[in-house]
Amino acid sequence: MLRLSKLTDYGVVVLTRLAAGSQAGRVVAVPELAQATGLQEPTVAKVLKILGQAGMVEGMRGARGGYRLTRPLDAIPLSEVIIAFEGPIALTACVEGSAASCESSGLCPVHGRWEPVNRAVRATLERITVADLVAPEPIASYRQNALTL
């Protein structure tokens, strides 16, 4: 587990397909993207709305409208996509809400100690971009320096 939602996965797929289909600022409509990805149109629409609110894609209304990327894929860190679909990256509920929500805070020896872990995971996800996920060859960049797999 530790699984991210399907929507997030769809988000990455749609982003990559959008990059392939919208060269030179051309916009791509939902039906075409649904066709290309094999996903349902309503689902693709929902994903694009979320990506739009997060500022990764830009929607053009009206006939001949559609979506296009606001940035190249290598300028979109994976963490940004995940945050858009799932909210702040935090492994436990303790840290994100109010500290008072943890009823056993007085007894819990791990109280507040998860935050460094969250930062570590966050940093890991910030170093990987969406472009890395479509690279046809094994990725060397974040393999060597940053993440030291």
Q: Kindly state the tokens that stand for 107.
A: 């007894």
- 10 Å CB burial of residue 136 (0-12, 13-18, 19+) is exposed
Helices and strands: H and E segment counts in the chain = 8, 2
Minimum separation from the CB atom of position 20 to DNA (A): 16
Q: State the Cα–Cα distance between residues 123 and 144, nearest whole angstrom.
A: 15
Minimum separation from the CB atom of position 142 to a second copy (A): 7
The item of DNA, a second copy, none sharing an interface with residue 29, based on CB under 5 to 8 Å by kind, is: DNA
Residues 58-97 that bind DNA (CB under 7 A): 58-67, 86
Which residue(s) pair with 67 in the sheet?
Answer: 28, 59
Instruction: List residues binding a second copy (CB under 8 A).
Output: 1-6, 9, 12-13, 16-17, 20, 36-39, 78, 82, 86-87, 89-94, 103-104, 106-110, 113-114, 116-117, 119-121, 123-125, 127-128, 132-135, 138-139, 142-143, 146-149
Q: Does 48 bind DNA (CB under 7 A)?
A: yes
